[in-house]
Structure 1
Amino acid sequence: MLWQERPIRMKEDTIAKIKEETAGWEYMQNLPEEWHGFRLQREPVIGKDKYDLYSYVNEGWHKKVIVYFHEETHEYKVRLKIGLIEFARIEFITGKLSVFEELLTSQFEQLLKDTAQFNPATLSSIVMDLKLPEWQWGRELPLENEGFELFIKPAEPVKINNGSYIVIDYVDFALESSFTVYYNIYRGEFFSEARIWNIPDVNYDFDSNDLQELEEKLCARMPARLQQVRQWAEEQKDDIHYGSN
């Protein structure tokens, strides 16, 4: 099969469909300009397969909540960007704008609240049983490590999708690079991922079945991993900036 480059913009008939369906959409017209610390951005953004209808943003928090149409699945959805990580919230997925409005009306404000400030109620009983918020070693993590900022800490894990939670997230926003530790409730396993200029780089050096094993591996290997991520990001900086010009 010959490789074919994906179009840089979604199909014109999809764009026309979304514009027609959302023209005069009263719910969107009546949205507050500021909501729980976020500012509304009304200007639509059209990408390869996503039509962002609007978003709520707080640049200082590095958080964004986006309401959009996904061409690949032909559904309306909500996705979050927290730090460098983006993910969809499955409870908002629907193919009908009328149903989407009902979901937004009943759940979107709470989503903003939970995104603005950690809500312990978002944690599953499995995560609570791990006693992540009480993990002493996790509470003593440095706020800065090898030039990375501790953006998400174990005391306030963030629920994403597919049963996973972000447990630790060290980020350098200037380099768009990070080191992240996750926990998946279905596999009962901790695992990690780095991002270099927001491109994932996975290894299995931190895979662990419990907090004790994770702590031992983080103590032994995290400093070197952070140094490696920084080195790779610095080495690629000129290429990244050149490619964006």
Structure 2
Amino acid sequence: MKDETIEKVRAETEHWGYMDQLPEEWHGFHLDRTVSVGKDTYDLCRYENKDRHTSVILYFHEETHEYKLRLKIGLIEFCRIEYITAGLESFEHLLRKQLEFLLMDMETFNPKTLSSIVSDKKITEWALGRELPEELEGFSLFIRPAQPVKINNGSYIVVDYVDFSLESSFTLYYNIYRDEFFAEARIWNIPDVNYDFDSNELPELEEKLHQRLLPRLQEIRKRAETEAANKKEAVKGKSES
């Protein structure tokens, strides 16, 4: 991030009264006021629930010169477009109206946040969704179909199996605009996409999960563990040289 941008944001937010009024604990989240400057982001603060692996981050984005809010849910991080604003005053206005409700919905699933298309698709009532194992190939079921999570561009996370120790996961999405289920893996938090689970209806998806979920999880684990071993060897080699 450019020095002039850092100074601009610092000057605008140094005496921001709203920040001083934020509760230290709010609906299961702890407020971390640590400022973090990245390549093109200036993180002002975050509300974090470590047990749930969820965070809400307030930040300034240098690329667009806007104040924004992003969520981190498990390994998945994304900007909530409803909070994008050009100035601090309008950003504060939105936060005062909506931030508490956002934290409440992240703490406790709110079915009212679901699109009617998701409801009509019967995803929350899906029988297989209720039968998914809590643990599979060392991955934990982090998000389940009974409680889909809305992200951006009309997509919902329907299933998320995660191994946080390896920063690796298998995620199944549903997109309301394309009326399509699709999947993505993360291996050490790097996306890895294939099209083996693309489906339009739940029976089609169910068949593909029966056939392909276990092998896909095994593949993700093998690649993640191999990469971890390679990193360990590289560090060992450097320390011995």
> Could you tell me which residue of structure 2 aligns to residue 125 of structure 1?
116
- Separation in 2 of the partners of 1:17 and 1:233? 41
> Could you tell me which residue of structure 2 aligns to residue 165 of structure 1?
156
Q: 2:26 aligns with which of 35, 42, 48?
A: 35
- Separation in 2 of the partners of 1:134 and 1:244? 48
* Structure 1 unaligned spans of 5+: 1-9
- 1:241 deviates by 5.2
* Structure 2 unaligned spans of 5+: 237-241
- Separation in 1 of the partners of 2:37 and 2:90? 22
| 2:181 is equivalent to residue 194 of structure 1 | no
> Could you tell me which residue of structure 2 aligns to residue 112 of structure 1?
103
The percentage of aligned residue pairs carrying the same residue is: 65
Q: Could you tell me which amino acid in structure 2 is paired with residue 13 of structure 1?
A: E
- Separation in 2 of the partners of 1:37 and 1:195? 27
Q: 2:133 aligns with which of 142, 147, 150?
A: 142
> Could you tell me which residue of structure 2 aligns to residue 61 of structure 1?
52
> Could you tell me which residue of structure 2 aligns to residue 100 of structure 1?
91
> Could you tell me which residue of structure 2 aligns to residue 218 of structure 1?
209
1:16-56 Cα offsets, whole Å, 9 max, x none, are 00001112100011110000000000010100011100000
1:173-211 Cα offsets, whole Å, 9 max, x none, are 000000000000000000000000000000000000111
- Separation in 2 of the partners of 1:178 and 1:241? 21
- Separation in 2 of the partners of 1:244 and 1:85? 27
- Separation in 1 of the partners of 2:46 and 2:185? 26
Counterparts in 2 of 1:52-91, with a 5 A limit? 52-91=43-82
Report the TM-score when normalising by structure 1: 0.94
Report the TM-score when normalising by structure 2: 0.96
- Separation in 1 of the partners of 2:18 and 2:232? 40
- Separation in 2 of the partners of 1:20 and 1:129? 48
- Where 1:133 maps in the other structure, the secondary structure is coil
- Separation in 2 of the partners of 1:155 and 1:241? 39
CA RMSD of aligned residues (A): 1.3
